[in-house]
Structure 1
Amino acid sequence: MANLARQLRHEQRKQQQTIAPKAPKKKIQQKRWLSPGEKILGITFGALVCFGSIHIISNQSSIYELNKDIQDTQALIQEQQKSNSDLSIQISELSQYDRIKEKARKLGLELNNQNVKVVQD
């Protein structure tokens, strides 16, 4: 009998479990790490950072090129100034009075003091 009583209790429990309304399962909503708006903002921010870094690198490259051109031009200017100063020294050496007088004598010219006119600036 004990076995029969156990079976009845077991069947009653099964019926109660099947008859009893089951509690509706709650949907577990997974909390998303980023919302779609945050994703769009993040992508936009990343694109702006990339654009800005490319722009900065481009500007630095152009500045470097300009500085290089300026230095090349300054080197050329210094060379030309040196050449000009050398030519000025050569002019002053070639325009000395004694040298001009010697060249004139070699060419057969003679100094006539009566024909000399003094010009003042």
Structure 2
Amino acid sequence: MAVRVRQQPYIQQPATLPQPQQPAYQPTKGTTNKKKYSIISKREKLLYVVFMVVVALFAVSILHTQGKIQTTSIEIQKIESEISEVSKQNVDLKVRVSELSTYERIWEKAKELGLTLNEKNVKVVPGE
């Protein structure tokens, strides 16, 4: 019997379901102590915005300058076409003057008006 005294009876523990493990830190609903770290800092964001504004301003100024250049070149082309038209008219008028100032035509007009040629009053003027 001595053997039975040494054996202790098997004590069965009550069966419980395993509890799901909760994380070590659970913030309560009222407190938000969690800091959000951004990859880009506020200064970098500000520099990015300033950079974009400067780029946009440069783009607008370049487009404005190109517009002025285009307007000026159109005006220059108009003026050049007017100059070419006036020069053509000048050439036509010079041809007409040379046709009307021939010696024969002047002599015919003088006869029509009743003028006579007096060689003592004739002066030779060099032409163009």
Shorter-chain TM-score range: 0.7 to 0.9
User: Any gaps of 5 or more consecutive residues in structure 2?
Assistant: 1-9, 17-23, 27-32
The ranges of structure 1 where at least 4 consecutive aligned residues each deviate by more than 6 angstroms after the TM superposition are none
Partner of 1:88 in structure 2? 94
Residues in 1 aligned to 2:101 and 2:45: alpha-carbon distance in whole angstroms: 83
Partner of 2:74 in structure 1? 68
Greater Rg over alpha carbons, structure: 2
Counterparts in 2 of 1:76 and 1:54: CA distance versus 1, 3 Å: same
Residues in 2 aligned to 1:117 and 1:24: alpha-carbon distance in whole angstroms: 125
Residues in 2 aligned to 1:62 and 1:74: alpha-carbon distance in whole angstroms: 18
The amino acid of 2:107's aligned partner reads K
Partner of 2:65 in structure 1? 59
TM-score by length of 1: 0.75
**Equivalent residue in structure 2 for 1:44, among 36, 39, 50:** 50
Residues in 2 aligned to 1:94 and 1:120: alpha-carbon distance in whole angstroms: 17
Cα deviation digits, residues 18-71 of structure 1 (max 9, x gap): xxxxx778x765431210000000000000111010001000000000000000
How well do the aligned residues superpose, as a CA RMSD in angstroms? Answer: 2.3
The amino acid of 1:96's aligned partner reads T
Q: Does 1:35 align with 2:41?
A: yes
Residues in 1 aligned to 2:100 and 2:110: alpha-carbon distance in whole angstroms: 13
Aligned length: 104
Residues in 1 aligned to 2:78 and 2:126: alpha-carbon distance in whole angstroms: 44
User: Any gaps of 5 or more consecutive residues in structure 1?
Assistant: 11-22
Q: Does 1:114 align with 2:123?
A: no
How far 1:118 moved relative to its partner?
Answer: 3.2
Counterparts in 2 of 1:86 and 1:70: CA distance versus 1, 3 Å: same
TM-score by length of 2: 0.71
Partner of 1:78 in structure 2? 84
Percent identical pairs in the alignment equals 37
